[in-house]
Amino acid sequence: MGYSFSLADIEYLTSPQGAHALEEVAALELSTRTHLADLGRVRARFGDRAAVLVETVQLRRRAAGKLDDAGGWLFTDDALQQSTPTLVARRRAARLGDRPVHDVTCSIGAELAALTAASSVVLGSDLDPVRLAMARHNVPRAALVRADALHPCSRDTVVVADPARRAGGRRTHDPARLEPPLPALLDAWEGRDLVVKCAPGLDFSSLDWAGEIEVVSLDGAVREACLWSPGLAQPGVTRRASVLRTERGVDAWEDVTDADPDDIPERAPGRWIVDPDGAIVRAGLVRHFAARHGLWQLDPRIAYLTGDRVPEGMRGFRVLDRIKFSEKALRQELTRRDCGSVEILVRGVDVDPAVLRPRLKLRGSAPLAVVITRIGRAGVAFVCEPGAVAGA
């Protein structure tokens, strides 16, 4: 939950005294080891303000891995958790270009900051006055107003929305239980160009969406599904997977759409196995991705890909051997190879790696990987070298 900020707290934190106090507190270690002593020190210096100061410094430190240039921002714990990572927000903003835009659920402004970098006309609104006051401090270039996203208060802009994903503290897959509810939000802005960020697991079947659904991953984790209304979608595209990576300080992305070719050969397994990114699997674009990179599927119903080389930047598993899958046969094969630790990948068969691993009784020294799946009806295990990133 975290500390519950008030408007008076924000007034203090953005005052010269508050800024000075934050600087002092930021110099403290505030680790588990020093926390009690540090808190005592902050209380002695700043009395009742101690909690708001310590919380703000800790949230700023947590934000550093997710948001760029947010070292002087204000957050609540929930708002930081809900914020869009800078790389994802920046990519969305770049796609919108310099069109005027209204972020109708702007919260503390993570998405808004990226939008102001791309467009000169950016409006933000939110129902929560505390978050809005924080956004005013965090993104001074945006015009901000307190407004209900279900009652349009702007004209002629693209509308960006990011309904809150938690209902009663739990994640929800029901679009009607978001805040604001997604069906009502779509009704309210009907006819406007609209982008809505949603949870990747959301059940879109009830929406009958006519535009594009983009599934986005960041550094291997699927982060969101984003709805683009028909006026913003690329012609002919209804699904897109955007795979974003921060590699050695450089932002990289690849996107695959259902307008790309998906002709792939049916061939025997190649020298490598590639487990495609979750965004590609979730968007149903495994074949399209394979076709682009000269890969093919182990089995047409399973998302594992195979080929004789691994696409640059992707993790691949070099195949050493293929056996018919049974626990006993796998144990014998791994023992024969002096295996001491194993990464287990499973698709299409009912095997729990956490249950299987101790039963393999590995006592050797070599690290290996095993890909367990099925080809046709047969369960197979590919014994592989540990995964390696091509070009790393």
Ligand X SMILES: C[S@@+](CC[C@H](N)C(=O)[O-])C[C@H]1O[C@@H](n2cnc3c(N)ncnc32)[C@H](O)[C@@H]1O
- The residue range among 77-85, 207-215, 264-272, 340-348 that interacts with ligand X, by the rule CB under 6 A, is 77-85
The three-state DSSP-derived secondary structure of 235-258 is CCCCEEEEEEEEECCEEEEEEEEC
User: Would you count residue 21 as binding ligand X (CB under 6 A)?
Assistant: no
User: Would you count residue 184 as binding ligand X (CB under 6 A)?
Assistant: no
Please, are residues 178 and 172 in contact by the beta-carbon 8 Å criterion?
yes
Q: Which is nearer to ligand X, 84 or 157 (CB)?
A: 84
Smallest separation, CB 201 to ligand X (Å): 15
Determine which residue in the list 69, 98, 148, 251 makes contact with ligand X, applying CB under 6 A. 148
Determine which residue in the list 9, 38, 55, 126 makes contact with ligand X, applying CB under 6 A. 126
User: Would you count residue 195 as binding ligand X (CB under 6 A)?
Assistant: no
Q: Which is nearer to ligand X, 70 or 264 (CB)?
A: 70
Q: Which is nearer to ligand X, 190 or 327 (CB)?
A: 190
Smallest separation, CB 163 to ligand X (Å): 6
User: Would you count residue 172 as binding ligand X (CB under 6 A)?
Assistant: no
User: Would you count residue 82 as binding ligand X (CB under 6 A)?
Assistant: yes
Tell me the torsion sign for CA atoms 273, 276, 278, 280. Answer: negative
Q: How many residues bind ligand X (CB under 6 A)?
A: 20
Q: Strand 101-103 relative to strand 122-126: parallel, antiparallel, unpaired?
A: parallel
How far apart CA 197 and CA 291 sit, in angstroms, is: 28
- The residue range among 45-53, 102-110, 187-195, 381-389 that interacts with ligand X, by the rule CB under 6 A, is 102-110
Q: Which is nearer to ligand X, 146 or 267 (CB)?
A: 146
Smallest separation, CB 62 to ligand X (Å): 14
Report the Cα–Cα distance between both ends of the chain, in Å, rounded. Answer: 40
User: Would you count residue 90 as binding ligand X (CB under 6 A)?
Assistant: no
Q: Which is nearer to ligand X, 26 or 164 (CB)?
A: 164
User: Would you count residue 86 as binding ligand X (CB under 6 A)?
Assistant: no
User: Would you count residue 238 as binding ligand X (CB under 6 A)?
Assistant: no
Cβ-proximal residues to 138 (8 Å cutoff; 6+ apart), any chain = 70, 73, 74, 108, 109, 112, 113
Closest to 2 (Cα-Cα) out of 53, 77, 69: 77
User: Would you count residue 105 as binding ligand X (CB under 6 A)?
Assistant: yes
User: Would you count residue 68 as binding ligand X (CB under 6 A)?
Assistant: no
User: Would you count residue 180 as binding ligand X (CB under 6 A)?
Assistant: yes
What torsion do the CA atoms of 117, 123, 125, 131 make, to the nearest 10 degrees?
Answer: 40
Q: Which is nearer to ligand X, 100 or 180 (CB)?
A: 180
The three-state DSSP-derived secondary structure of 91-128 is HHHHHHCCCCEEECCCCCCHHHHHHHHHCCCEEEEECC
Determine which residue in the list 9, 55, 128, 254 makes contact with ligand X, applying CB under 6 A. 128
Binders in 294-313 for ligand X, by CB under 6 A: none
User: Would you count residue 179 as binding ligand X (CB under 6 A)?
Assistant: yes
How far apart CA 347 and CA 283 sit, in angstroms, is: 17
Question: Could you tell me the two tokens for 294?
Answer: 């000269």
User: Would you count residue 224 as binding ligand X (CB under 6 A)?
Assistant: no
How far apart CA 51 and CA 57 sit, in angstroms, is: 10
CA distances from 41 to 31, 181, 282, 298 (A): 14, 45, 50, 61
Contact residues: ligand X, CB under 6 A: 82-84, 105, 107-111, 126-128, 131, 148-150, 162, 164, 179-180
